[in-house]
Amino acid sequence: MWPLVAALLLGSWCCGSAQLLLSKVKSVEFTGCNETVIIPCFVLNVEAQSTKEMFVKWKLNRTYIFIYDGNVNNSTVDSNFSSAKISVVDLLKGDASLKMDKRDAVVGNYTCEVTELIREGKTVVELKYRMGKYTKCLASSSWFSPNEKILIVIFPVLAILLFWGKFGILTLKYKSARTNKRIILLLIAGLVLTVIVIVGAILFIPGEYPVKNASGLGLIVISTGILILLQYNVFMTAFGMTSFTIAILITQVLGYVLAVVGLCLCIMACEPVHGPLLISDLGVIALAELLGLVYMKFVGNSVYEQKPRNYH
Ligand SMILES: *[C@@H]1O[C@H](CO)[C@@H](O)[C@H](O)[C@H]1NC(C)=O
Ligand SMILES: *[C@@H]1O[C@H](CO)[C@@H](O)[C@H](O)[C@H]1NC(C)=O
Ligand SMILES: *[C@@H]1O[C@H](CO)[C@@H](O)[C@H](O)[C@H]1NC(C)=O
Ligand SMILES: *[C@@H]1O[C@H](CO)[C@@H](O)[C@H](O)[C@H]1NC(C)=O
Ligand SMILES: *[C@@H]1O[C@H](CO)[C@@H](O)[C@H](O)[C@H]1NC(C)=O
Ligand SMILES: *[C@@H]1O[C@H](CO)[C@@H](O)[C@H](O)[C@H]1NC(C)=O
């Protein structure tokens, strides 16, 4: 008893405290991108010369999940946290951080308890999970800035308006008994696409609701593929294929493929680098619509009028 009291008094007299000072980190986050998860715990005033003097215990809520006994240099690990470990060689530097594979990581309050002979200290760190890998790009405004969100919606909307422009020209200039059925099909498909993109925009723009926003973006990007079919059918109904319309369609297909790739990269990537790719590809799709409209308005006419003359 007396030696202990003496040691305590001596401890607090010589070192200011019989307590171990532990780093105070309130919480750490992990995402789908973290292969391993590290819950930090640093002793700021280690004095031990050997890990034999150290004892480290980690608990989650009230259950001990990891115990390192320096005296026998052995760790005991809860079966639910089989990958959990500390780095024994770093212990003398004060590092008692718990490392585990993502598969074992569960959110909650982890308590790190370190004992060095008679000195001890503990700290609580909350481990949080942040929606990352699969929804960050799709969902949060932290991934797409408000401006980017607007561009992502504006380009498809613009493309659809341009489609309706072409549709107008088609009905005014190229209407005939032969084309009526096609025009009705184009009208229906155009309306369906318009509704899908409006629904997509309503889901995508407001707030930070990962699933809603993600489905919205998915709807918008995937449905722009319908524009290619529409553009093809508009050309076929009006004047058939020319090398210029083929070039326009190829541009549009490329824009679409890259937009879908951009969408997938956004979903899978861990860093916000693919937003601009997605946006510029949606821009290319809109540009192809614009070229289609210009071609129909100014050039297509003459092609159409020349053809019958050639056959006479
Ligand atoms: C997850 O990974 C990020 C980036 O590498 C890192 O900053 C963070 O500390 C990691 N989180 C945990 C709990 O290990
Ligand atoms: C820890 O406690 C929190 C809430 O107090 C609970 O949600 C969580 O499931 C608990 N974790 C374990 C592993 O018991
Ligand atoms: C404790 O065991 C680890 C391997 O588990 C070994 O690397 C380390 O040298 C050992 N330390 C001591 C002090 O025996
Ligand atoms: C360490 O613990 C494991 C089981 O947890 C046991 O099998 C092993 O013999 C122990 N080693 C030492 C050196 O105590
Ligand atoms: C380990 O997992 C099992 C099954 O999920 C659960 O019933 C048990 O409470 C867990 N133990 C701890 C210490 O979290
Ligand atoms: C962890 O503790 C903090 C503060 O006591 C509390 O706000 C939080 O809800 C706890 N987290 C879990 C998952 O129990």
CA-closest residue to ligand 4 atom 5: 76
What's the rounded Cα separation, in Å, for the pair 101 and 95? 18
31 pLDDT exceeds 90?
Answer: no
Phi first, then psi: what are they for 115, rounded to 5°? -120, 135
Candidates 40, 41, 210; CA nearest to 130 is 210
How much is the pLDDT for 189? 92
Ligand located closest to 126 CA: 6
Report field, pTM of the whole predicted structure over 0.75 = no
- Residue 22 in contact with residue 42, Cβ under 8 Å? yes
Span 262-268, mean pLDDT? 75
- pLDDT tier for residue 140 given thresholds of 50, 70 and 90: very low
Span 112-138, mean pLDDT? 80
What's the rounded Cα separation, in Å, for the pair 114 and 20? 8
Candidates 256, 243, 238; CA nearest to 293 is 238
Q: Which residues contact 244 (CB under 8 A, 6 or more apart)?
A: 295, 299
If you measure from the C-alpha of residue 74 to the centroid of ligand 4, how many angstroms do you get, rounded to a whole number?
6
Write down how long the chain is: 312
What's the rounded Cα separation, in Å, for the pair 160 and 193? 8
How much is the pLDDT for 273? 59
- Ligand 5 in reach of 63 Cβ (< 6 A): yes
Choosing from 26, 29, 98 the residue with most ligand 1 atoms within 8 A of its CB, the one to mutate for a pocket test is 29
What's the rounded Cα separation, in Å, for the pair 52 and 56? 11
107 pLDDT exceeds 50?
Answer: yes
Q: Which residues contact 95 (CB under 8 A, 6 or more apart)?
A: 41, 42, 43, 86, 87
If you measure from the C-alpha of residue 44 to the centroid of ligand 4, how many angstroms do you get, rounded to a whole number?
29
pLDDT tens per residue, range 74-89: 999 999 999 999 999 9
If you measure from the C-alpha of residue 89 to the centroid of ligand 5, how many angstroms do you get, rounded to a whole number?
30
- pLDDT tier for residue 308 given thresholds of 50, 70 and 90: very low
How much is the pLDDT for 272? 57
pLDDT tens per residue, range 167-213: 988 888 877 767 788 888 899 999 999 999 999 999 888 876 767 77
First to last CA, the chain: 119
pLDDT tens per residue, range 32-58: 777 899 999 999 999 888 999 999 999
What's the rounded Cα separation, in Å, for the pair 33 and 134? 9
How much is the pLDDT for 1? 52
Neighbours of 276 (CB within 10 A): 12
- Residue 259 in contact with residue 151, Cβ under 8 Å? no
- Read out DSSP for 8-21? HHHHHHHHS-SBPP
